[in-house]
Amino acid sequence: MIDVAEYMGNSIRNMMANAYKNVLSNPREAEFVFRMQKQFRKSERLRKKLKETEGLDVPPLLISSIATTCNLHCAGCYARSNGIANDREDLRKPTLTPQQWHDIFAEAAEMGINFSLLAGGEPLTRRDILERVAEVKGMIFPIFTNGTLIGPAYLDFLKKNLNMVPVISIEGSEEKTDERRGHGVFLRARRAMEKLKAESLFFGTSITVTTENYRLAASASHIAQLREMGCKIVFFVEYVPTEKGTGHLALTEAHVKEMEEMVEQRRKEFEAMIFFSFPGDEKYVGGCLASGRGFFHIGPDGSAEPCPFSPFSDSNVAEIGLRKALQSPLFRKIRNANALSWEHSGGCTLWEHREEVESLLKSSS
CATH number for the domain that contains residue 60? 3.20.20.70
| Rounded distance between C-alpha atoms, residue 274 and residue 234, angstroms | 6
DSSP label of 303 = B
What single letter denotes the amino acid at residue 74?
C
**Structural domain count, the chain:** 1
Average pLDDT by consecutive 10-residue portion of the chain (365 residues)? 70 85 87 93 94 93 95 88 87 93 98 96 97 97 97 97 96 91 96 96 94 94 95 91 82 89 94 82 62 87 90 93 93 72 60 71 66
What single letter denotes the amino acid at residue 265?
Q
| Rounded distance between C-alpha atoms, residue 208 and residue 246, angstroms | 13
Sign of CA dihedral 250, 254, 256, 262: negative
| Rounded distance between C-alpha atoms, residue 347 and residue 364, angstroms | 26
Q: Per the confidence metrics, is the pTM higher than 0.85?
A: yes
Instruction: Name the burial class of residue 1, with classes exposed (0-12), middle (13-18) and buried (19+) by CB atoms within 10 angstroms of its CB.
Output: exposed
Instruction: Name the burial class of residue 352, with classes exposed (0-12), middle (13-18) and buried (19+) by CB atoms within 10 angstroms of its CB.
Output: buried
| Rounded distance between C-alpha atoms, residue 294 and residue 286, angstroms | 12
Which residues touch 340 (CB under 8 Å, ≥6 apart)?
Answer: 282, 286, 287, 288, 289, 290, 291, 293, 334, 349, 350
- State residue 75's pLDDT score: 85
What φ, ψ does residue 111 adopt, rounded to 5°?
Answer: -95, -5
Q: Which domain holds residue 271?
A: 4-364
**Cis bond upstream, residue 279 (ω within 30):** yes
What φ, ψ does residue 351 adopt, rounded to 5°?
Answer: -65, -45
- Residues 166/150, Cβ–Cβ less than 8 Å: yes
Query: What angle, 0 to 180 degrees and rounded to 10, lies between the N-to-C axes of helices 27-54 and 4-22?
Result: 170
Helices (H), ranges, the chain = 4-22, 27-54, 78-81, 98-110, 127-133, 152-160, 174-181, 185-198, 214-217, 220-228, 253-269, 317-325, 329-336, 349-352, 354-364
